[in-house]
Amino acid sequence: MSLDPSFVGRTYPPTAPYQVGREKIREFATAVGATDPVHHDPEAARALGHPDVVAPPTFPVVVTMSASRQIVEDPALGVDYSRVVHGDQRFAYTRPVVAGDELVCVNTIEEVTTRGGHGFLTTRTDVSTVDGEPVVAVWSKIVVRGEA
């Protein structure tokens, strides 16, 4: 089943809030080798003007991967997740993610194309606080491999 291009522009409902925890940031920072004290020590973060530890730049994937299930599990779109490979990821920050943030995601399908028998799906996830403050926009491209 190929991807349905009529989904371009479709926006999904906001996700349930995700509470960003200090330990989750520390664990993620350790896992990706981010050793800057701002990711581990609240005092170091406060000294730089942040209310708590700051998440490394790629941390939003923790939130957006879960949110993307709205899209990949939409049966009408036609994503066969067993055939998916990651194509691209980028972030545009309004401000850093910090411990204590309560974040919601809104997913939008920006592009659906087919090339060489493979489907390409580009999504944008707008991540904001529960109060509506924009935090980061995350673009992701996946490739749905065609049949061999």
CATH of the domain at 105: 3.10.129.10
Q: Determine whether 22 is exposed, middle or buried from the number of CB atoms within 10 Å of its CB (0-12, 13-18, 19+).
A: middle
pLDDT in tens, 50-100: 999 999 999 999 999 999 999 989 988 989 888 999 999 999 999 999 999
Q: At 5, phi and psi to the nearest 5?
A: -65, -15
In terms of DSSP H, where are the helices of 39-135?
42-47, 61-67, 69-72
- 10 Å Cβ neighbour count for 27? 12
**pLDDT higher than threshold 80 for residue 148:** no
The pairing of beta strand 118-129 with beta strand 102-115: antiparallel
Give the number of domains in the chain. 1
How far is Cα 29 from Cα 59, in angstroms, rounded to an integer?
8
pLDDT tens digit sequence for 6-39: 999 999 999 999 999 999 999 999 999 999 999 9
Give the model's pLDDT for residue 147. Answer: 81
Task: Please check whether residue 107 lies inside any domain of the structure.
Answer: yes
Give a yes or no: residue 36 inside a domain. no
Range of the domain at 66: 3-20+54-142
* Average pLDDT of the residues of the chain: 95
The angle formed by the CA atoms of residues 146, 122 and 105, to the nearest 5 degrees, is 130
